[in-house]
């Protein structure tokens, strides 16, 4: 960690020299003056950039739709367990010991089934999500590299990593949005439609105050 931080600070100082300039001059040759390469550093929240691309949002939305039926099934099973548990609690006094044990065993079996199915669904969902991310991140990286080279950046630091050495960076050095925009342009994937906002409910009519009786 200290070594990587030292490298970052060295790059930031603009004192990185060409490797050939640090080699001792060959016998009989004229020594050359080392040439300093000015550093231009950018930061990017890379994981966020991948997730915010139109392609990423589309694929993750499709993944949620894929698992929606399974989520509904697990919710239904959970509600069934709650219902059976409530029935057992309220009817326990009127049931025989055999019937109570039978219902308790049924509830226990359904709870175990819910735990197994939930764990399987969670693991599979995470694996599918990881596959999507890994397939997308290499393409986003290529766009980021191209953008950084075009803009003359000599170093790009990922601030989404927990072990990032970056403690502070001005907003002008953050290229996250620029890379996302560049990727969206290259991929041609349109932005995902926003969910339709619910229509506002009409306000209840205000009661009309009764007119005062006419005076004669």
Q: Where are the domains of the chain?
A: 38-187
Residues 163-202 pLDDT 10s: 788 888 899 999 999 999 999 999 999 998 887 655 455 4
Residues 82-95 pLDDT 10s: 999 999 999 988 98
* pLDDT for position 152: 94
Question: What percentage of the chain has pLDDT greater than the value 90?
Answer: 63
Sign of CA dihedral 130, 131, 137, 138: positive
Please say if the pLDDT value at position 46 is more than 90.
yes
181: which 2 tokens?
Answer: 């925009």
Burial of 199 (0-12, 13-18, 19+ CB in 10 A): exposed
Model confidence at 27, pLDDT cuts 50, 70, 90, reads: low
Residues 97-141 pLDDT 10s: 999 999 999 999 999 999 999 999 999 999 999 999 999 999 999
152 sits in the region (left: phi over 0; alpha: psi -120 to 50; else beta) called left
* pLDDT for position 167: 83
């Amino acid at each position: 960690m200290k070594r990587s931080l030292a490298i970052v600070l060295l790059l930031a100082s603009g004192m990185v020299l060409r490797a050939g300039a640090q080699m001792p001059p060959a016998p009989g040759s004229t020594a050359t003056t080392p040439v300093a390469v000015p550093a231009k550093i950018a930061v990017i929240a890379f994981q966020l950039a991948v997730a915010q691309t139109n392609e990423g949002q589309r694929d993750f939305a499709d993944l949620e739709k894929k698992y929606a039926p399974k989520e509904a099934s697990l919710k239904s099973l959970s509600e069934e367990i709650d219902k059976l548990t409530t029935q057992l609690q309220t009817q326990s006094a009127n049931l025989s010991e055999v019937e109570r044990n039978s219902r308790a065993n049924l509830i226990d079996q359904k709870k175990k089934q819910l735990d197994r199915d939930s764990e399987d669904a969670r693991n599979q969902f995470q694996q599918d999500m990881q596959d999507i991310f890994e397939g997308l991140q290499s393409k986003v990286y290529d766009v980021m590299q191209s953008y950084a080279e075009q803009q003359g950046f000599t170093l790009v630091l990922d601030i989404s990593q927990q072990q990032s050495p970056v403690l502070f960076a001005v907003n002008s050095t953050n290229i996250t949005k620029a890379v996302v925009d560049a990727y969206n342009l290259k991929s041609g994937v349109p932005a995902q439609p926003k969910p339709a906002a619910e229509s506002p409910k009409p306000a209840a009519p205000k009661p009309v105050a009764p007119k005062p009786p006419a005076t004669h």
